[in-house]
């Protein structure tokens, strides 16, 4: 039996004891009460040692839990630092990529302008050459027309004899 049951038994013995007339006292079987008290005494040290052992185990579990919590917090901090570092690297990479993109766009715009200027200059040269060629063709045609008219005029006149 455990201590609580034995204490309940002792309380029941006192409650059921015969009352002494004209007094608050009662009559209890001394041997029975002493046996119950002896059983309680025997059970108490075991209960107390069990309680002490349980408290020691509890404290060990709590200490182990605290150590585990500290380890988890340390790991979380390390992970936070690692992730922050990765995030900073990402931000630097994004900034560098943006700068490179802007530089490339500027270079492309500059090259497009230079290409357009070169093509415009080549077309202007071609236009001048074409204009000169057209002028030469026109003069040549005019000359041919002029000679054709002279030949026509000469054909209308009688030939010298």
**How much is the pLDDT for 158?**
59
- In this predicted model, what pLDDT tens digit does every residue of 95-148 receive, in sequence order? 999 999 999 999 999 999 999 999 999 999 999 999 999 999 999 998 888 887
Is 126 contained in some domain?
Answer: no
Number of domains in the chain: 1
134 inside domain: no
* Whole-prediction pTM: 0.38
Task: State which residues form the domain around 14.
Answer: 3-115
Give the model's pLDDT for residue 89. Answer: 87
- Residue-averaged pLDDT of the chain: 86
Q: Is 23 within a domain? A: yes
Asked whether residue 138 is domain-assigned, the answer is no
- Determine, yes or no, domain membership for 60: yes
Counting beta carbons within 10 angstroms of the beta carbon of residue 106, is it exposed (0 to 12), middle (13 to 18) or buried (19 or more)?
A: exposed
pLDDT of residue 68: 93
Q: How far apart are CA 155 and CA 61, in angstroms?
A: 134
The predicted structure's pLDDT at residue 157: 61
In a domain, 92, yes or no: yes
Residue 46 has pLDDT above 70, yes or no: no
Rounded Cα distance, 8 and 54, in Å:
24
- 61 secondary structure, DSSP code: H
Q: Is residue 61 part of a domain?
A: yes
Residue 28 banded pLDDT, cuts 50, 70, 90: confident
Q: Is residue 159 part of a domain?
A: no
Q: pLDDT tens digits for 79-90?
A: 988 888 888 888
For 93, the token pair is 């990479």
> What is the reported pLDDT for 125?
95
Site of tokens 């560098």: 96
The pLDDT value recorded for residue 155 is 63
């Amino acid at each position: 039996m455990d201590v609580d049951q034995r204490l309940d038994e002792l309380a029941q013995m006192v409650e059921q004891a015969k009352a002494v007339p004209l007094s608050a006292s009662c009559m209890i079987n001394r041997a029975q009460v002493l046996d119950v008290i002896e059983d309680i005494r025997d059970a108490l040290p075991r209960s107390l040692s069990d309680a002490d052992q349980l408290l020691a185990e509890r404290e060990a579990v709590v200490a182990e839990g605290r150590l585990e919590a500290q380890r988890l917090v340390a790991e979380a901090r390390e992970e936070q630092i690692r992730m922050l570092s990765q995030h900073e690297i990402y931000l630097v990479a994004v900034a560098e990529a943006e700068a490179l993109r802007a530089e490339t766009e500027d270079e492309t715009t500059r090259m497009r302008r230079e290409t357009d200027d070169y093509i415009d200059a080549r077309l202007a040269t071609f236009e001048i050459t074409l204009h000169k060629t057209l002028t030469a063709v026109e003069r040549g045609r005019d000359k041919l027309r002029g000679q054709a008219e002279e030949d026509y005029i000469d054909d209308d006149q009688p030939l010298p004899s």
